[in-house]
Chain A
Amino acid sequence: MKQKLSRQSENISLAGVVVVLFIVFTILQPNMMTVFNIKNILVQVSLTAIAAAGMTFAYTAGVFDMSIGSVLALISVVVAKVATTAGVFPAILAAFAIAAAVGILNGLIVTKLGIQAFAATLVSMILIRGIAVLMADGADVPLYSVNAIKFISSGTILGIPFPIILTALVYAVSYFLYYKTEFGMKIRSVGSNADASRISGIRTQRMITAAFILTAVTAVFSSLIKTAQVMFGKATIGEDFALDVMTTVILGGTVITGGKGNLTGTLIASVLIAVIKNGLNINNVNSYYQQLAIGVILIFALIFNGIKTMRNTRQIRREG
């Protein structure tokens, strides 16, 4: 009970930071607080938030995925190539098939070869990027002929941009999976204690592989939105995507040693990062100050967390 409360207070304080930043930026540049810009921010949120939902599952299972930036690039090239030759639906199918394959591959390397997640996904990151560049063959793959795909990034339903609806859907499904199903329970138990879970009959290797698949599949949504936005496939995009997504998940309060994820926190943290980037952009601040801001906020969040956990353990020691 106490834990639940503390998580809620964490989320509330994070949301507080978002609100304060938003107000500060609005004072600096009144155009911040327009319906148009809020829509923009939410669309920008969707790019990382969706992949971050999958990454939250991975962290909960005690692993993480460095390769999603490369997956982003590969999917964008594949979608552009298939959509222009065979149509939008085959392209989307191919995208999900590739993502699932990548997830399974990552999962197998981690579980069967016993390689750490960092190392395994580092390898697949390099390999997948190589494949993406080879497929694109030094050129951007234009998508202008396929107007249908534009709906993914800028179509609206009842006036709400589709990426925002997609984010809501992904989070609804994630919440359900994470908190209401046996699958979510098993993932959490694998992350908090793999040995105990194995003994109690959970197929830990399958759970970890499933977490990798979820991460790669959610990255597909991000990739589709990005590709539809710019309307061509490019093999060099997303170099920093994996680190951005991980930063989001960690800022959101997910415990990186596994077992405890915080989906709400992840969502709020993606809003936070989008607000920082957007706010600095519309105030015409150079991109490297954005990096600095994100880095410093991350470090302070960590120090703050570290102090809190230390105080907690001390208190427990005193009370016990």
Chain B
Amino acid sequence: MKNLKKLLAVVLMVLLAMQAAACGSSEEKKETGSESSASSNESQSSETESSQDSKGVIAYSCYNMSWEYYVTLAQGVKEAAEAAGYEYVEHDQQSDQSLMIQGCTDLLNQDIACLVLTPCKPEAAASIYELAQEKGIPVILADIGTEASGYLACLKSDNYDGGVLAGNYVLDNLTDAQSKKAAMITVDPSNTNIVRSDGFKDTLEAGGWTIAAELSGQSEPDIAYSCMQDIITANPDVEVVFCSNDPMAISASQAVADAGLTPGEDVKVIGYDAQSNVFEPIENGTVLGTVAQDPYGMGEGAVDCFLKNLNGEELTFDDEETKTIYTDQWIIDAANAAEYK
């Protein structure tokens, strides 16, 4: 029996320590939250000091915080939320749809003011909208849209159009192409971003090119590297390779160089997302260009939509039916890289 008591004490201590740690971190967050809200209050100077913490919580549930793109998006949500006097919390789905539902349910059960959501599996998000509607919490989608209804607005850039943009860039700039052979290294085939490569494919095929190879790099650079090696083996005359994200594009350009070819001359690589470490390869020519999106703007815009809706303002959609607001997409290449860096 003594044994059990001792252990119970140990377990209790561990749990308490955990609890304390958890509280500590959340308190820290609260502090930073109130600090920044205080600073924003100062700048507005009209806000009352007495409003205790903040107006409420704006939560962002993210696809995967291991990707720089989403870190930037989260930054946008965070700064806009705190500027408006809200507290900001975030949740990481880690690309797992079960975690997405679990985490969003937990957020909604805490009566937050607004949920900004990038669903890693948009088809699976229906039950989240249902719960949100039950609770009267607005959901705003960022970056990835869904077919189900029940959200307030959806801010994204059309990924298919992004692929088209890249395709047209190739058609316009590589007029002296000889073999007119292109290849694609895509994300996992069940990923919603797969439409990027579809857009690219359709545009190029309409322009008289052939897609010689389409392999899945599963979003990971190391897999994309060996895919690129194999593409060169099978099609030594391939001229353009479209990669569905920048890490894959960078590693593909490395594979081209390692194969004894010159990236940018023999094989041109195009990426997607305009991640910060792609600018250097673009400037020195190993990566031809990348399709830039505006994740920070999406995050900011999502909070903006919420605030407008709160004030009773009408939201204007680019597509009324799906309540979509399209954000900008543009090509970054060696000519304008310095501008956006």
A and B in contact, CB less than 8 Å = yes
Residue in contact with A142 in the complex, picked from B222, B225, B226, B277, CB distance below 8 Å: B277
Cβ of A287 and Cβ of B216 under 8 Å apart?
A: yes
CA of A144 to CA of B278, assembled, Å: 11
8 A Cβ contacts from B203-233 to A: 212-216, 218, 220-222, 224-227, 229-233
Cβ of A140 and Cβ of B222 under 8 Å apart?
A: no
Cβ of A139 and Cβ of B227 under 8 Å apart?
A: no
CA of A235 to CA of B92, assembled, Å: 15
Of the candidate stretches A105-113, A202-210, A264-272, A274-282, the one touching chain B is A274-282
Cβ of A285 to closest chain B Cβ, rounded Å:
9
B247 surroundings in chain A (CB, below 8 A): 140, 230, 232, 234
Cβ of B230 and Cβ of A138 under 8 Å apart?
A: no
Size of B's binding interface in residues, CB under 8 A: 41
Q: In the complex where A36-B259, A144-B281, A229-B255 touch, is A234 in contact with B234 (Cβ < 8 A)?
A: no
Residue in contact with B221 in the complex, picked from A153, A237, A278, A288, CB distance below 8 Å: A237
8 A Cβ contacts from B172-229 to A: 189, 212-216, 218, 220-222, 224-227, 229
Cβ of A282 and Cβ of B258 under 8 Å apart?
A: no
Cβ of A272 to closest chain B Cβ, rounded Å:
16
B254 surroundings in chain A (CB, below 8 A): 229-231
User: Mask for A1-41, Cβ within 8 A of B = 1, else 0?
Assistant: 00000000000000000000000000001011010110010
Cβ of A139 and Cβ of B280 under 8 Å apart?
A: no
A44 closest partner in B (C-beta): B226
A227 closest partner in B (C-beta): B222
Does residue B250 face the partner (Cβ distance < 8 Å to A)? yes
Does residue A247 face the partner (Cβ distance < 8 Å to B)? no
Cβ of B258 and Cβ of A138 under 8 Å apart?
A: no
Cβ of A37 to closest chain B Cβ, rounded Å:
4
Cβ of B233 and Cβ of A34 under 8 Å apart?
A: yes
Does residue A284 face the partner (Cβ distance < 8 Å to B)? yes
Cβ of A127 to closest chain B Cβ, rounded Å:
16
Q: In the complex where A40-B229, A138-B68, A144-B281 touch, is A287 in contact with B218 (Cβ < 8 A)?
A: yes
A230 surroundings in chain B (CB, below 8 A): 221-222, 224-225, 247, 250-251, 254
B277 surroundings in chain A (CB, below 8 A): 139-140, 142, 144, 232
B279 closest partner in A (C-beta): A142
CA of A233 to CA of B275, assembled, Å: 14
User: Mask for B247-264, Cβ within 8 A of A = 1, else 0?
Assistant: 100110011011100000
CA of A129 to CA of B71, assembled, Å: 18
A138 surroundings in chain B (CB, below 8 A): 65-68, 70-71
Cβ of B259 to closest chain A Cβ, rounded Å:
7
B189 closest partner in A (C-beta): A286
CA of A286 to CA of B67, assembled, Å: 24
Cβ of B64 to closest chain A Cβ, rounded Å:
8
Does residue A293 face the partner (Cβ distance < 8 Å to B)? no
A309 surroundings in chain B (CB, below 8 A): none
A193 surroundings in chain B (CB, below 8 A): none
Does residue A133 face the partner (Cβ distance < 8 Å to B)? yes
Does residue B236 face the partner (Cβ distance < 8 Å to A)? yes
CA of A236 to CA of B258, assembled, Å: 23
CA of A238 to CA of B218, assembled, Å: 12
Cβ of A144 and Cβ of B214 under 8 Å apart?
A: no
Does residue B39 face the partner (Cβ distance < 8 Å to A)? no
Cβ of B292 to closest chain A Cβ, rounded Å:
17
Residue in contact with A139 in the complex, picked from B230, B258, B276, CB distance below 8 Å: B276
Q: A229-B254, A282-B230, A284-B213 are in contact. List 12 more A-B contacts (CB 8 A).
A: A31-B236, A32-B233, A138-B65, A138-B68, A142-B280, A229-B255, A230-B222, A230-B250, A234-B247, A238-B222, A278-B226, A281-B230
Give residues in A with beta carbon < 8 Å to B: 29, 31-32, 34, 36-37, 40, 43-44, 133, 136, 138-140, 142, 144, 153-154, 226, 229-232, 234-238, 277-278, 281-284, 286-288
Give residues in B with beta carbon < 8 Å to A: 64-68, 70-71, 189, 212-216, 218, 220-222, 224-227, 229-234, 236, 247, 250-251, 254-255, 257-259, 275-277, 280-281
Sampled A-B contacts (26; CB under 8 Å): A29-B234, A34-B233, A36-B233, A37-B233, A44-B226, A44-B229, A138-B68, A140-B68, A142-B277, A144-B280, A154-B257, A230-B221, A230-B225, A231-B251, A231-B254, A232-B277, A234-B247, A236-B66, A238-B222, A278-B230, A278-B233, A282-B234, A283-B234, A284-B212, A286-B189, A287-B216
